[in-house]
Amino acid sequence: MSTSKTIKVTAHAKVNLTLHVVGQRANGYHELQSLVCLTEFGDQIHLSPAADFSFQVIGPYAAGIPLDESNLVVQAAKFMAHKHSKSLDCQIILEKNLPMASGIGGGSSDAAAVLKALSQYWSVPLPNLDELMALGADIPVCMTTGLTLMEGAGEDVTQLSTAPNWGLILVNPNVGVSTPAVFNALNSKQNPPMQDVAENCVDIAWLGDQRNDLEPPAMTMVPEVAAVVDEISEIPQCQVSRMSGSGATCFGLFTDIKHANAAAERLQQAHENWWVVATKMV
């Protein structure tokens, strides 16, 4: 039964706290090992009843977002309607607060939020893992909370811990990075995996010793990424500074939100043209 009120779901930013590329499959997919968290800050999906389906994008990063079938939001909505034999009797508004092509799962997280909103709207179950993977490799991890280990091409998702009470800043120099180009520029596709992740994932010192294997090629292609990571790491209370995903968004980890807020303020004053947000994990 469809509800008559607007449903609002946050499409949380996805942060790869670590990203180890440990192999490559025959089909070209990379074998990944990544410790992932979602943050309170993200895009917003607003879903409300309507006679016919419509989709629009608002917000600071709305420019250039496709409104057609190429958008994962539209694909996810049509998938849910088909799966549950429903007509798409709703309006979906995507409030785009996250920069595009920025390594924090924007499109996948938006799609995950639409699946959740339609599940609520029609009172129907969410898709299974295979269906989520068919929509996009990053979608399963965008349905999680806490600290999650993502392995394989994205299909192996294991929750390891509830969200630590850390604060983090997300910083993007407002440049986009091409994910395929970064993977292509990766020197080695066979890198050491993380050790004893479950035991160590809430240890900030251990996290600092891990890697994002896509960081060196991204920094070579987009020098701004290196500048951002360096500047975050120079903030006295910062525990870990690293790029997320394939970039260009970078993060800084702090022991609490108070330190993260102060760091965000400091960076935003120094760089008006950077996108800077302080947030917590969900």
Tell me the β-bridge partners of 148: 36, 159
Residue 111 carries which side chain, given as an amino acid letter? A
Q: What single-letter amino acid sits at 28?
A: G
- What is 7-143's CATH topology? Ribosomal Protein S5; domain 2 (3.30.230)
Alpha-carbon gap, residue 106 to 169, rounded angstroms: 16
pLDDT score recorded for residue 1: 55
Is 14 noted as a catalytic residue in this protein? yes
pLDDT at 2: 63
Q: What confidence score (pLDDT) does residue 28 get?
A: 85
pLDDT at residue 260 in the model: 98
pLDDT tens per residue across span 144-198: 999 999 999 888 999 999 999 999 999 999 998 888 999 999 999 999 999 999 9
CA torsion sign, 201 to 203 to 204 to 206?
Answer: negative
Q: Which of helix, strand or coil describes residue 269? A: helix
The pTM for the full model equals 0.95
Cβ atoms of 161 and 204 within 8 Å: the answer is no
Determine the CATH number of domain 162-280: 3.30.70.890
Q: Which of 43, 96, 116, 138 is catalytic?
A: 138
Active-site residue (options: 5, 14, 116, 230): 14
Given a contact cutoff of 8 angstroms between Cβ atoms, the answer to whether 168 and 251 are in contact is yes
* Spatial distance between the Cα atoms of 39 and 202, rounded to a whole number of angstroms: 16
3-state secondary structure 6-71: CEEEEEEEEEECCEEEEEECCCCCEEEEEEEEEEEEEEEEEEEECCCCEEEEECCCCCCCCCCCCC
Within 8 A by CB and 6+ apart from 46, the residues are 6, 7, 8, 92, 93, 94, 95
Q: Where are the domains of the chain?
A: 7-143, 162-280
How large is the C-alpha radius of gyration of the chain?
A: 19
Averages of pLDDT over each 10 residues, the chain, 282 residues: 83 98 91 97 98 97 94 97 97 96 91 98 96 93 96 92 97 91 93 96 97 97 97 97 96 98 98 97 98
Q: What per-residue confidence (pLDDT) applies to 3?
A: 65
Q: CA 127 from chain center: how many Å?
A: 19
What b/e sequence results for 250-260 when a residue is b if at least 16 CB atoms lie within 10 Å of its CB, and e otherwise? bbbbbeebebb
Catalytic site includes residue 280: no
